[in-house]
Amino acid sequence: MCRSTADGLESLAYHLTELHDETLQSLVHTGSRLGLDVITGNGWALVAGPKARLSALARPWTSPEPLVEVAVALGHALPADGPALWQTARGPVSLDRPIIVGILNVTPDSFSDGGHYTTVAAAVARAETLAAEGATILDVGGESTRPGALPVSEAEELERVLPVVEALARRLPSLLVSVDTVKSGVAERCLDHGAAIVNDVSGLRLDAAMAGLCAARNAGVIAMHSRGGVAQMASLDQAHYPGGVVAEVAGELGAALGRARSGGLQDERLVIDPGFGFGKTPEQNVELLRGLGALRVLGRPIMVGPSRKRFLGALTGRAVEERDQATAAACAFAWAAGASLFRVHDAAPTRDALAVAAAVNPR
């Protein structure tokens, strides 16, 4: 697939090759319905039209089966929108440069750093290190989603995260604090005590009150793709994507955005996360990273969290604590594909990799 466009014009044209007859027929029918210009030949097609109409074609979750692969490829090829702002409870975040989100787990059992930062003093010290390494958002989590983890009560989660959120808001006021939770009660208390963002790894599935609560507090919201409850999210029992992992993740993230909007959240407050490592095999994670650009047609900024995930271990043979360079490489690729926010355990390697990636592919 290649793209051509004239300066100053909205219309874009794409040359698609190696297409089967069934795909060509479906493309002509669907393109005509969407108001696109489609010219076909022996195994190829030229598709042209305004970006908005091409974006409608680049939605694999609504495409007819013969066009799913074309939709994914087109979504990846469409140019990203210009610099954007993400609105949070403490003001906007500019996304014209990579934003590093530092992971601060205050749990005893997280897969990489469980038990390391369970006191307020240790958590604040770690936050200061992440900030010095380039993190501008700190994501505080009090409930592990590692394979086999058991859910914790709202009271226990609050006991873990609330003192840390309060301390960070007081000690590091220049940073934004995010709370990683699926419980609206936890989100509410944290937002009332200094948090600006809610990172819901259930994609607003598990607590019907979450979207409305975040809308009432003007919070920024990250809706991540996952399946099942907290104890099942990381299980490979969830790794069934007969329609293709990119297409199904895109469709389920679209449903998450629908839940957010139904709860009163405005689009300017929403970020999506494809959920690397959550219910996906190593091969599916690689496929998702390769096709990440297709998620841009959802129209929201993308955050990725590949940090130290097992698929990076499968690719490199490295132990969990040795995967920060692979994490940085994955983040650099994700920036080129359109991601704007990068959730990592160790900020320094990712900061350097993204500095190079942003210089090569500026927004």
Active site residues: 309, 343
Tell me the three-class secondary structure of the chain, residue by residue: CEEECCCCCCEEEEEECCCCHHHHHHHHHHHHHCCCEEEECCCCEEEEEEHHHHHHHCCCCCCCHHHHHHHHHHHHHCCCCCCCEEEECCEEEECCCCEEEEEEECCCCCCCCCCCCCCHHHHHHHHHHHHHCCCCEEEEECCCCCCCCCCCCHHHHHHHHHHHHHHHHHHCCCCEEEEECCCHHHHHHHHHCCCCEEEECCCCCCCCCHHHHHHHCCCEEEEECCCCCCCCCCCHHHCCCCCCHHHHHHHHHHHHHHHHHHCCCCHHHEEEECCCCCCCCHHHHHHHHHCHHHHHHHCCCEEECCCCCHHHHHHHCCCHHHCHHHHHHHHHHHHHHCCCEEEECCHHHHHHHHHHHHHHCCC
Choose among 25, 234, 263: nearest CA to 150: 234
Place of tokens 């074309």: 70
